[in-house]
Amino acid sequence: MKILLATYWYIPHLGGVWPLMCQMKEKLEKLGHEVDIFGNTPDGLAYHIVNKNLVIKKEELIPLVHTQLNPAKEPVLHTDKRTFNLETDRYYMELAACYFGLSQYDIIHTQDVISTWCLSRVKPAHVPLFASVHGVLARETIQYFKYLNPHATIDEIKKTLYWKHYYTLDKMGTHSADLIHTSSQWTHDIFIQDYQVPKERVVKFQYGIDIPAFLNQMEQPTDIQAPKGRKVIIFTGRLVDIKGVHILLPALSLLKGKRSDWECWIVGDGVMKDVLIQKTEEYGISDHVKFLGRRNDVPALLKKSDIFVIPSLQDNMPLSLIEAQLAGKAIICSDAGGLPEMVQHGVTGLVAGAGQERPLFLHLLSLLENDDLRIRLSSSVKKWALKFWSVDLMTERILAIYKQLLSRSLRKE
């Protein structure tokens, strides 16, 4: 089979989708399939087929598209600058897909709603379109607005063109694929209930990870050393509002008031980095919190840590949590989105209310105070994770879906 994995987002990028796409490519190619990966370039100036180094620069498309879509002719498109930018960037994706040619593929497997809607508009009718959707854009938009303006109500946010645009993209995207894959019950239910996607067009199964490779990476050297006599609390992920690091910092400040035998490593990068560093200083916890930036040795850093914390305000099935579970860390997660499906409170970790600093602080305190609890949670999560996150199982399921969609498409012909 010749497969196209596609995303509207920048690739390579921070976050879990890119590693997931790479892993799928590797696994599918080991089974004899051919896989291309298509998406925005990291600088956003072009689209590319990453593995073949094929590029089409947007500057080749912009002059004609902008001229044909001028404000006098398309006033609706120009109502809002962000809407205009996103819409035109979608057209560049569609044109880029036509430039590279979609008829060479047996199946297209998208990783977000925007690329799903784009490619549904330009793909040959006989090529099946399967979409793994890793989040809900309209809900992320609410969190984004809430972060910018904590007093904004959900009703006010839902009246903005920005939110309505993203809601429409979610809806168009989820309705335009032949089949939608979700990894959590949370997204599964949202697509069926809020977006009215027919039940029979949504499948749910968990992601997978190459466990032996991850365990091997844990054993690799790192230049970061755990401090003597202090437990290490680690966060890994993008430094963006929905990951909730701004909620973790006040919890750490409360923790410092009780004990000082800990250090927190914030691993990752993102638009909030400077704000978070500044807040760390304001809370007076700079001596306990280290911002390590983007790192390539996350598995080795997890090995040196004791407690993994993920205080997301919205999340689906984050790779960072999967890795921490495989590393056998004591987990503290929020109850946002799909996270509580991944952690059984009191058995494989501790769950705190999203957006609340006090429960986070109390869980951190109890894991520092109670060695037995920390060790018990670590050991049971590792045992569970080693069975649950099999990449072979995920690949098997994906391939079964490809075959099912292909045979359906052949029957139609």
Partner 1 sequence: MNTLKVLGDLYNSMFHNPIETNVYVEHQIWSKIRANVPDGYKIPDKKMMDIIAKFIEEGTSSDLSKL
Q: Which stretches of the chain bind partner 1, using CB under 8 A?
A: 56, 60-61, 63-65, 67-70, 73-74, 76-77, 79-80, 82-83, 87, 90-91, 94-95, 98-99, 101-103, 121-125, 145, 148-149, 152, 156-157, 159-162, 164-165, 168, 172
For residues 106 and 1, the answer to whether their CB atoms sit within 8 Å is yes
Structural element, H or E, at residue 308: strand 307-310
Which runs of consecutive H residues, i.e. helices, occur in 177-289?
185-193, 211-218, 245-258, 273-282
- Residue closer to partner 1 (CB basis): 81 or 199: 81
Q: Which amino acid is at 75?
A: P
How near is the Cβ of 8 to partner 1 at its closest, in Å? 14
β-strands 107-110, 129-132: how paired?
Answer: parallel
- Residue closer to partner 1 (CB basis): 38 or 291: 38
How near is the Cβ of 150 to partner 1 at its closest, in Å? 12
- Residue closer to partner 1 (CB basis): 154 or 213: 154
Cis peptide before 12 (omega within 30 of 0): yes
* Best CA proximity match to 389, nearest among 130, 133, 135, 183: 183
End-to-end CA distance of the chain: 18
How near is the Cβ of 98 to partner 1 at its closest, in Å? 4
How near is the Cβ of 370 to partner 1 at its closest, in Å? 43
- Residue closer to partner 1 (CB basis): 57 or 204: 57
d(CA 292, CA 273) in angstroms, rounded, equals 11
How near is the Cβ of 74 to partner 1 at its closest, in Å? 6
Distances from the Cα of 193 to the Cαs of 115, 198, 199, 215, in angstroms?
Answer: 22, 9, 9, 39
Q: Which amino acid is at 87?
A: E
- Residue closer to partner 1 (CB basis): 194 or 335: 194
- Residue closer to partner 1 (CB basis): 128 or 311: 128
In what order do the strands lie in the sheet containing 262-267? 289-293, 262-267, 231-236, 307-310, 330-334, 350-352
How near is the Cβ of 39 to partner 1 at its closest, in Å? 18
- Residue closer to partner 1 (CB basis): 153 or 220: 153
Crossing angle, helix 81-100 and helix 161-176, to 10 degrees? 30
How near is the Cβ of 224 to partner 1 at its closest, in Å? 37
Instruction: Please state the three-class secondary structure of 162-201 as a single string.
Output: HHHHHHHHHHHHHHHCCEEEECCHHHHHHHHHCCCCCHHH
